[in-house]
Amino acid sequence: MAYIVKQPQNGGGFRTTVHDLLLAQRLADAAAPSFASGQPVLFQPGRQRHPFTHSNNEGDDMISSGSTGSTGKPQEPGDSAPAASPELKRRHFLGGLASVGVGTTLAGCAADAPRGSASAAAGPVDAALARNVKTVVVIYGENRSFNNLFADFPGLERPISALKPSECSQRDRNGALLGKLPATWGGVAQLGPQVVEGVTYEPGKQYQTDLPNAPFQLKGPQGEALPLGLVTRDLVHAFYHNQMQINGGKNDGFAAWTDAGGITMGYYADTRFNLRLWDIAREFVLCDNFFQGAFGGSFLNHQYLAAGTVPFYPDVMNSPARTQVAKLQSSDPTDFRLQPLDNSPASCMDGPPRFGPNALTPDGYAVNTMVPPYWPTSVRDPARPTHADFKQPNVLVPQVHHHIGDKLDQKGIDWAWYAGGWQATLDQFKDSAGIPKIPNFQYHHQPFNYFKNLGPDNPTARTRHLRDGGLGDETRTNRFFADIEAGKLPPVTFYKPQGNLNMHAGYADIASGDRHIAHAIKLLQASPQWNNMVVIVTVDENGGWWDHVAPPKGDRWGPGTRLPALVISPFARKGTVDHTIYDTGSVLRLITRVFGLEKLDGLKERDDAMRARGQEPMGDMTNALQFTA
């Protein structure tokens, strides 16, 4: 039986006084035994089973979307997980007390709604959104699963420490249970040597060996917690691989189908001490059932953030890109099982799997990295330097389906994608063979540069909406930071940090990106626009790192692995964990709802597919918000 504690109602500028906190502390200490005994604290909502890609007797198909109260529940009696710590119990009880004396609020949904409610009820909440939210900011980092950074954050629905061995064991490519994890192929670090906090990290080395078949805390050569300032090796993160790793929701194929070996099961266990985003999540809202919108990698998930659907290459088998079409284990173009090459090792203990090119599905959908049709891109047309060379097989043709910018334009609402290093790349690197390590601009992280109506033939729209984010961590060089301080952000703003500040394994460390994003958040909180702002901080995809929570079944394209997502706002349900089921498209759903837009076709298709199976569609992030009536 699950018991849910109502969360703080501190929208509208409520602040708890010192007297309130002291009183709440004493009451929390007195009330703590009621949590430990599993007795109801305030109310007991209904629980809705949520269809998943698989079902087993370990409860993986029991993740349910949140409602107003579905945040950070105490451990249920009889479960194998340890009881909530006193700190966690106190935190939730203080949340309940904080609502006393605040006055009437409009919550993300009715206080006693079932946990299956994925979005706030219509009516007063829509009016409150329209009245209060004038700016939505999305900060989009890179390549971290939820477990990788937040595995045991207080208040999670399913912390990593509560897992049974059967919920995290990995299987080999033939389905057999692994006796231990494979080595980390190529070593933990592939750049170097790197010196971090006085320790030298040599490239190509195994820092941990003979690891049991289980998730593990990442450690260095001296047994120290692996520092967030170390650039580790990259891990494959791709459309077909991700589905083979998820394996129908069992999440037992990560070690088998990665190119990196056992490191996929590693996580940073000390982020509570040195991750700035951890502290920000404690202050605001952490979403612990937020999934990447599409299976796979950065290219596709940036496209999903922009449009809620998958790019298309027409008549692909008669195009220059035909060599990039995936070879599958059947003739079904929707098959997610790649056909291994003949020289691919049969066991993951013997090396990474080998596959042929797989950027495109046999029916023409672009699912793995293809470069933009317009500069900045990796292969330019000498005759038209503002365009890519369309004779090259890795160049995607211009896209013509609707993106979220089109829906905003229809309503006359301004928007922009700020890309770190955009102008520097246009100006300084246009004649170079590659982009320097700093800013390490990533072509395929610029989703709107793939659309015809934002190409160089439409210079007014292109200049207005594809903006330079500048460089670095200072307002004098970072254009996004400067516009924050000036209160000049458009109503819908996306920010993509430059490559070396985006937390992507292989070429960026976590610490630098964490510091950069925390800096942006502090500036946003001091901005003239803050009082009417909602900020969402998340990453594009898991980067190949394992996570144990099964994604809900959506449609052919996703959702994929669970990610961290933070909701930061004066209207946030501060100090809570939101268990509502979201995906990357939920960001678009929030924008759509706040500004009264027409819904994108891809979001409608996922909604329809989920409803047809009796599921609630993905939430729209409104459960993380509350407003004063």
Task: Please check the confidence at residue 619 and state whether its pLDDT lies above 90.
Answer: yes
Task: Please check the confidence at residue 70 and state whether its pLDDT lies above 80.
Answer: no
pLDDT band at 433 (very low <50, low <70, confident <90, very high): low
Q: Going by DSSP bridges, is the β-strand pair 285-291/562-568 parallel, antiparallel, or unpaired?
A: antiparallel
Q: Which residue type, as a one-letter code, is found at position 393?
A: P
Cα 465 → chain centroid: 23
Task: Please check the confidence at residue 83 and state whether its pLDDT lies above 50.
Answer: no
pLDDT band at 616 (very low <50, low <70, confident <90, very high): very high
Assess contact for 602 and 121: CB atoms under 8 A. Answer: no
Query: What is the SS3 assignment for 587?
Result: helix
Distance CA 205, CA 188 (A): 6
Q: Which of 35-39, 383-387, 567-571 has the highest mean pLDDT?
A: 567-571
pLDDT band at 438 (very low <50, low <70, confident <90, very high): confident
Phi, psi of 470, rounded to the nearest 5 degrees: 80, -160
What are 412's two structure tokens? 């006359």
pLDDT band at 628 (very low <50, low <70, confident <90, very high): confident
Assess contact for 574 and 8: CB atoms under 8 A. Answer: yes
Cα 347 → chain centroid: 30
Given this model, what pLDDT does residue 124 score?
87
Distance CA 115, CA 45 (A): 7
Task: Please check the confidence at residue 226 and state whether its pLDDT lies above 60.
Answer: yes
Average pLDDT for residues 152-174, to the nearest whole number?
Answer: 95
Q: Which residue type, as a one-letter code, is found at position 492?
A: V
Distance CA 280, CA 285 (A): 8
Given this model, what pLDDT does residue 431 score?
72
135 or 166, which is more confident: 135
Given this model, what pLDDT does residue 122 score?
73
Task: Please check the confidence at residue 494 and state whether its pLDDT lies above 80.
Answer: yes
Per-residue model confidence as pLDDT tens digits over 320-333:
999 999 999 999 99
Task: Please check the confidence at residue 230 and state whether its pLDDT lies above 70.
Answer: yes
Lowest mean pLDDT: which of 163-167, 310-314, 579-583? 163-167
Query: What is the SS3 assignment for 551?
Result: coil
Cα separations in angstroms, 265 against 213, 330, 401, 484: 9, 30, 38, 38
Distance CA 442, CA 445 (A): 6
Cα 348 → chain centroid: 27
391 or 29, which is more confident: 391
Task: Considering only the C-alpha atoms of the chain, give the largest distance between any 2 of them, rounded to a whole number of Å.
Answer: 76
- What is the residue extent of each domain of the chain? 18-130, 136-152+282-311+370-628
pLDDT band at 434 (very low <50, low <70, confident <90, very high): low
Q: Which of 450, 528, 522 is nearest to 488 (CA)?
A: 528
Distance CA 89, CA 69 (A): 15
pLDDT band at 371 (very low <50, low <70, confident <90, very high): very high
Rounded to 10 degrees, what is the CA torsion of 36, 41, 45, 51?
-20
- Which helix (H) or strand (E) segment holds residue 271: the answer is helix 271-274
Enter the pTM of the model: 0.84
CATH class of 136-152+282-311+370-628: alpha beta
Given this model, what pLDDT does residue 458 score?
98
Residues forming a β-bridge with 417:
466, 494
Task: Please check the confidence at residue 318 and state whether its pLDDT lies above 90.
Answer: yes
Which residue's structure tokens are 């209060």?
132
Distance CA 440, CA 499 (A): 5
Task: Please check the confidence at residue 73 and state whether its pLDDT lies above 60.
Answer: no
Task: Please check the confidence at residue 110 and state whether its pLDDT lies above 70.
Answer: no
Given this model, what pLDDT does residue 428 score?
83
Task: Please check the confidence at residue 21 and state whether its pLDDT lies above 90.
Answer: no
Output b/e per residue, 426-443; b: 16+ Cβ within 10 A.
eeebeeeeebeeebbbbb
Cα separations in angstroms, 550 against 299, 406, 505, 559, 581: 22, 33, 23, 10, 11
Given this model, what pLDDT does residue 10 score?
33
Query: What is the SS3 assignment for 81?
Result: coil
Average pLDDT for residues 474-495, to the nearest whole number?
Answer: 98
Distance CA 155, CA 284 (A): 13
DSSP class per residue in 96-153? HHHTTTS--EEESS-TT--TT--S--SSHHHHHHHHH--EEEEEEE----HHHHHTT-
pLDDT band at 253 (very low <50, low <70, confident <90, very high): very high
Lowest mean pLDDT: which of 73-77, 424-428, 437-441, 616-620? 73-77
DSSP class per residue in 346-370? SSGGG--------SB-TTSBB-S--
pLDDT band at 511 (very low <50, low <70, confident <90, very high): very high
Average pLDDT for residues 461-466, to the nearest whole number?
Answer: 98
Burial class (CB in 10 A: 0-12, 13-18, 19+), 332: exposed
Q: Which of 52, 296, 65, 348 is nearest to 182 (CA)?
A: 348
Distance CA 294, CA 298 (A): 10
Task: Please check the confidence at residue 430 and state whether its pLDDT lies above 90.
Answer: no
Task: Please check the confidence at residue 595 and state whether its pLDDT lies above 70.
Answer: yes
pLDDT band at 346 (very low <50, low <70, confident <90, very high): very high
Task: Please check the confidence at residue 244 and state whether its pLDDT lies above 50.
Answer: yes
Average pLDDT for residues 395-405, to the nearest whole number?
Answer: 98
Distance CA 134, CA 571 (A): 12
9 or 519, which is more confident: 519
Given this model, what pLDDT does residue 540 score?
97
pLDDT band at 435 (very low <50, low <70, confident <90, very high): low
Q: What is the mean pLDDT of the chain?
A: 84
Per-residue HEC secondary structure of 366-391 comes to ECCCCECCECCCCCEECCEEEEECCC
128 or 11, which is more confident: 128
